[in-house]
Structure 1
């Protein structure tokens, strides 16, 4: 079966008015603020209502160039649940413009399992990313303005840690010098840019519970250190938090759109899955739990990154207790984990598939370790053979895990009905879900928490620390920033910090190169390997194939 392009499918869809979608959630037209006919902002107070729904997390095995389709499966599962009479609500992240115009593409799903209006969601949407970029830029400007006008807080220009931001892949901005042009231009100093999903303000928006909590978190953001004491200087001391909250007031409110099959979808916030915690906003998830019976959400990258942070950071912060988890895998990716080169993935190879099965087993064990029942979704590709699909099914069965083929890309919700029924069996079999079994006690020292993640989640033997990282940990703990969750930023392609080590490596240690506090977000980031906060464009960016035709329709967006 040949499936049209994502954008062709999205542009041919007949969308419901968003007020009708809101009505399915029990909301009247006056309860939502419209952004045209097909998008709306929801009231923030929905997140404070008592939850009635059950939460289902969609995670995946480690990403490969072969693709896993986690967002597509999330959308398709929500569509399938609604086809089966379940009052399901989808909750996913907003896309970043950098990946859209780079190599990854958009984040609205694919095929017949998409959220729409796809073009709006992948581009400017309701302006949330622009608001976050503006609030971030305001704080950047106030930092340099403070340095220019006397520097009463004794902020050391050499130790300003607050970067600038832009929502585009631009490697030239990773390291720069600002303040050129004479005394009136402000002090000359080194600076850097991060992409908006890597901004701490994005993580703050994703974890804040209301406007008061948002402002308090913004005030706690550390922008640098003061003089010889190296005491932290915060956005609150710069008196920036109030104005930043003004810019973010509407961006904190969840966005309501719809799936291709007309079901409700909350698309809100977009923190990266390695530098940050890779989940949609807490207020969107809580609102969905108040409005629907089952909420399908996803976390970035594999279970070692997104799912671990979903449990250890988001669920801990928000008091969430997921009822079940779905692990997405593909035959192609498992063959790649088994050592097959990308050029041969479309050819049946049961030996390579068998070599990749320990990778599947590791991710199943990860999710089970957090105390949730697991269902494996095999996201079908046209080149998968019956023998390969049977091999994955048998391997999952040997692990004692329910498994279902998932053909939502080609068939929409109809292709996910078997998966939906297995998920509901898992949900109904866990009627009173408990808080997750966290990987660590957040009150423990930073090194202990990192060690626990490496051993329990990655399967390694612990962590080693560069001298700079060791000093940074000492500084964080001496200034009261040690008793928080830890967000390890590492490659998404491997369980280790080496992207070439596939499948299920053992006997390895993680090298922590850098550690910094995200005080507003409420966690500490530990960077392992060469993880960048500002990506670059590839040799042939997706942007070169995009445009607008003579009838004003976008083409080339995926």
Structure 2
């Protein structure tokens, strides 16, 4: 497919059974989908087989989850299957930081990659604007000393709603605003979150329609009054205007793979801070328009995968037929103690140790009543001996393994993976797996957190430190203790320490703070040193990005 020319987006939409009036083109190769399409019956009586792609814990050696997701869809299409992707939108922070693009890699990529990685259809900009509109209205209420019926005047010392920016900037984690005298506002401490960590991003990804979106926005808690009553975005009068700003952003986006296959790319909450899943609306569209809907969750199975199953799937009333667990030999060797510089070299001893990490994630799939397919993203220097070792280890736990060479060969290189996943999924037609959650909503928040930590991370216990006990008490008083839990934890480890690889045991997870995301509909325990505003690395990927005289952008993607 080296000479692939993108199909007109109307042609891609037509393959899904969509008419020209169902789409709003943004140029020739991308479009928004009208929301009323989602309420229609499925395009095929065989529609609805959902496949969740997740991964082991990330390492600097790389795993390639998005690349594998795209390759899987390509491979299934080559087998004649109606496969549709539902993926997240990239955030500019990681694109210009360490990630170098979020649209796959090599021949397993989305197109137009440069537009998707930059401004796309403006969704993330709209979310940033809606977030900061609420920030401005909160400060305006403080400045004019507005009084809210039943609550009173907002106490600026209690404001929990910060500001957002779609960029990695550690200098904005804590700052002072309102300097310059009384006419410029009241001086107070402020924080910035990256837009992908904004509650509004999580809300957009979970909202079912405009009415649900506005209701969720109105429930956002921004602070408290001097009497201790909560103040919400609805009380401030912000929800309707925010909903208007997000009107077009709520509509899912349609693009295509480098082999012309359809892909819905919509919403992009982080998996280590937020719930890490693309929008419910995009996933529902993929389920309705394809016989096989392939979606992914952010970072490892312990983060995005857990949240997909316990939060998104529960909210949307969906459940996957199969789990694809992505790994590389080099990442497994890093989990076995090999340094990143030598992780690509043969090292059966380190691989054997690292397999304990893979086995933990396979066991986690079993906690949900699901058996995963282990997808090895193959590199040219991987040895047959080490690949066989992984296959044997996975087989002992009842999992299948398949290789994927999608990066170098596109759909042709992922036919093995496509065949295995299709077999596993089709075998569930007579008796689809039923939802099985790690915790119940009726469990106390402490118990929900402990169940996740013990079952999914393998922790011995949880220590509630800092303000966490006070936060949980307040959440219970407000009546939000029955919400699901969205753990904020490092993606690099099963523990809350990013330097601990492999499968650690007998460790304690420390929860230092618990935030309420009443609009999104979950509580957020912050563990370890988890930050909601990342920083740039010493050599940011942005330094490699250049605009050529032809208008082409170079350096935006990995290996570009």
TM more than 0.5: yes
Give the deviation of 1:49 after TM superposition. 3.2
Residue in 2 that maps onto 1:48: 39
Which stretches in structure 2 are left out of the alignment for 5+ residues?
A: none
Output one character per residue of 1:264-293: Cα deviation in whole Å (capped at 9) or x when no partner.
000000000011100000000011111111
Output one character per residue of 1:217-236: Cα deviation in whole Å (capped at 9) or x when no partner.
00000001111x32211000
Rounded to whole Å, the distance in 2 between the matches of 1:166 and 1:307 is: 26
8 Å contact 1:39–1:257 — kept in the other structure? yes
1:79 to 61, 74, 83: 74
Q: Secondary structure at the match of 2:255?
A: strand
Give the deviation of 1:462 after TM superposition. 1.9
Structure 1 segment 98-177 matched on structure 2, within 5 A: 98-153=93-148, 154-177=153-176
Rounded to whole Å, the distance in 2 between the matches of 1:353 and 1:296 is: 29
Output one character per residue of 1:327-357: Cα deviation in whole Å (capped at 9) or x when no partner.
0111001111110111211221111100111
Q: Secondary structure at the match of 2:467?
A: helix
Residue in 2 that maps onto 1:402: 400
RMSD: 1.2
Residue in 1 that maps onto 2:448: 449
Structure 1 segment 426-465 matched on structure 2, within 5 A: 426-431=424-429, 432-465=431-464
Q: Secondary structure at the match of 2:236?
A: coil
Residue in 2 that maps onto 1:3: none
Q: 1:467 to 1:537 in 2, by over 3 A?
A: closer
Rounded to whole Å, the distance in 2 between the matches of 1:505 and 1:78 is: 34
Residue in 1 that maps onto 2:538: 539
Rounded to whole Å, the distance in 1 between the matches of 2:320 and 2:39 is: 18
8 Å contact 2:111–2:255 — kept in the other structure? yes
Q: Secondary structure at the match of 2:110?
A: strand
Rounded to whole Å, the distance in 1 between the matches of 2:67 and 2:137 is: 41
Rounded to whole Å, the distance in 2 between the matches of 1:231 and 1:421 is: 57
8 Å contact 2:87–2:295 — kept in the other structure? yes
Give the deviation of 1:373 after TM superposition. 2.9
- 1:250 equivalenced with 2:245 (yes/no): no
Which stretches in structure 1 are left out of the alignment for 5+ residues?
A: 1-8
Rounded to whole Å, the distance in 1 between the matches of 2:106 and 2:464 is: 44
Rounded to whole Å, the distance in 2 between the matches of 1:55 and 1:545 is: 37
8 Å contact 2:323–2:370 — kept in the other structure? yes
Give the deviation of 1:98 after TM superposition. 0.6
Rounded to whole Å, the distance in 2 between the matches of 1:47 and 1:269 is: 16
Give the deviation of 1:13 after TM superposition. 4.1
8 Å contact 1:299–1:307 — kept in the other structure? yes
Structure 1 segment 133-532 matched on structure 2, within 5 A: 133-153=128-148, 154-227=153-226, 229-431=227-429, 432-532=431-531
When structure 1 is superposed on structure 2, of 147-156 and 252-261 the one drifting more is 147-156
Rounded to whole Å, the distance in 2 between the matches of 1:394 and 1:434 is: 25
Q: Secondary structure at the match of 2:86?
A: strand
Give the deviation of 1:50 after TM superposition. 4.2
8 Å contact 2:174–2:189 — kept in the other structure? yes
8 Å contact 1:485–1:522 — kept in the other structure? yes
Give the deviation of 1:14 after TM superposition. 1.1
Q: Secondary structure at the match of 2:382?
A: coil
Residue in 2 that maps onto 1:5: none
8 Å contact 1:320–1:435 — kept in the other structure? no
Give the deviation of 1:216 after TM superposition. 0.2
8 Å contact 2:106–2:408 — kept in the other structure? yes
Give the deviation of 1:467 after TM superposition. 3.9
8 Å contact 1:373–1:426 — kept in the other structure? no
When structure 1 is superposed on structure 2, of 456-465 and 150-159 the one drifting more is 150-159
Rounded to whole Å, the distance in 1 between the matches of 2:40 and 2:524 is: 32
8 Å contact 1:72–1:409 — kept in the other structure? yes
Residue in 2 that maps onto 1:61: 56
Residue in 2 that maps onto 1:24: 15
Rounded to whole Å, the distance in 2 between the matches of 1:283 and 1:303 is: 22
Q: Secondary structure at the match of 2:99?
A: coil
Give the deviation of 1:79 after TM superposition. 0.6
